[in-house]
Structure 1
Amino acid sequence: MGWFKKKEKLEVIEVGVPLAGSVVELSEVPDPAFAGGFMGKGIAIKPREGKVYAPFDGTVAHAFGRSNHALLLEHASGIQLLIHVGINTVSLKGRGFTLRVQTGEKIKKGQLLLEFDISEIEQAGFPVITPVLVPDDQEMVKSVETMEGAGVVDGVPLLRVHLK
């Protein structure tokens, strides 16, 4: 008896901080779809540098190839995370953005995924604030908890995704 260990059920996914900057509430994003939580639950970051890193081990579910402004990442649990650099930056058609990964690529926490030119984006008239959220309609998501002090203290996750 006891030869087989019961596989532990993953109950909480910790999402690391994907870019350096000031963490703010989604309500501060100057776009009603993000600010109102219609795209999902999460937080936003006012970036200090133009680099996005993998917040967990997983896969690039979708790299927005023509515009290079956003990434949809998938954790091994199946939970997806959207990182959307700037507001209305899709209209830049990739100018100021350099993707370092492709759709379907495996990623490791801390890996450089995307680089962007903050001043070029701002000079084009777009806010560079970056929503980081768990898109709605993921059946296994029970709740999304935003972490106080994330991005300030090393090792503090940005989000905790509680699973059903």
Structure 2
Amino acid sequence: MFDFLKKKKQPQQLTAMINGEVIPVTKVKDDVFSSCMLGKGIAIHPTDGTVIAPADGKITVTMEGTNHAVGIRIAEGFDLLIHIGIDTVSLNGEGFISYVKTDQKVKAGDKLIEFDKDLIESRGLCSDVILIAIDNPELPDITFKSGMQATAGETVVATW
């Protein structure tokens, strides 16, 4: 009876963490990501090198020294991994600048990492930026969207 008085839960979303073409994570040329071993997600063929937070949250992991990845626990209580490139750890941080530290709170759109896309590609490495929702039995049912051009901070790439 009075269901109309109950506040409807608003759908939650993640926005693109970088500008570029969104592809399914299953198309990434790395078995750890494409097999969804860590969790489901998307990847973006970037057109630039600025990675931003896809949602409000808290930084849980930074890759000090290499700066090629960052972990975020978002407000809804689950963890995201943003990983820049394939085998970019081999660059030992060359071409990467991190703007965050572990335990730092971030808002959607805050700058996380900048990287030199041209440097990565000149070394024969892939510069795709990968977003994974780390597998967790408590995870809500997330729908990832791909097959589009994304604008960082604007284009919705996942909903739940």
TM-score (norm 1): 0.85
SS across alignment from 1:82: strand
Match of 1:94 in 2: 93
Measure how far apart 1:14 and its partner are: 0.8
Name the CA distance, whole Å, in 1 between partners of 2:10 and 2:81.
20
Whether the 8 Å contact between 1:42 and 1:144 is mirrored in structure 2 is no
Name the CA distance, whole Å, in 1 between partners of 2:8 and 2:103.
25
Task: Give the 3 Å change call, closer, same or farther, for CA 82–154 of structure 1 in structure 2.
Answer: closer
Instruction: Specify which structure has the bigger relative contact order, considering alpha-carbon pairs within 8 angstroms and separated by 6 or more residues.
Output: 2
Whether the 8 Å contact between 2:67 and 2:93 is mirrored in structure 1 is yes
SS across alignment from 2:156: coil
Match of 1:3 in 2: none
SS across alignment from 1:113: strand
Task: Give the 3 Å change call, closer, same or farther, for CA 134–154 of structure 1 in structure 2.
Answer: closer
Q: Which amino acid aligns with 2:145?
A: M
Whether the 8 Å contact between 1:15 and 1:159 is mirrored in structure 2 is yes
Q: Deviations over 1:60-84 (max 9, x none)?
A: 1111112100011111221111110
The count of corresponding residues between Structure 1 and Structure 2 is 155
Match of 2:48 in 1: 49
Tell me, yes or no, if structure 1 residue 141 matches structure 2 residue 139. Answer: yes
Task: Give the 3 Å change call, closer, same or farther, for CA 117–153 of structure 1 in structure 2.
Answer: closer
Gap runs ≥5 in structure 1:
1-5
Task: Supply the RMSD in Å over aligned alpha carbons.
Answer: 2.3
Name the CA distance, whole Å, in 2 between partners of 1:139 and 1:11.
22
Q: Deviations over 1:62-110 (max 9, x none)?
A: 1111210001111122111111000011111111100011111110111
Map 1:1-164 → 2, pairs under 5 A: 12-136=11-135, 138-148=136-146, 149=148, 151=150, 155-160=154-159, 162=160
Name the CA distance, whole Å, in 1 between partners of 2:26 and 2:119.
25
Q: Which amino acid aligns with 1:18?
A: M
Q: Which amino acid aligns with 1:73?
A: I
Q: Deviations over 1:14-53 (max 9, x none)?
A: 1111100100111221111111111210111000000001
TM-score (norm 2): 0.87
Gap runs ≥5 in structure 2:
1-5
Amino-acid identity (%): 33
Measure how far apart 1:147 and its partner are: 2.1
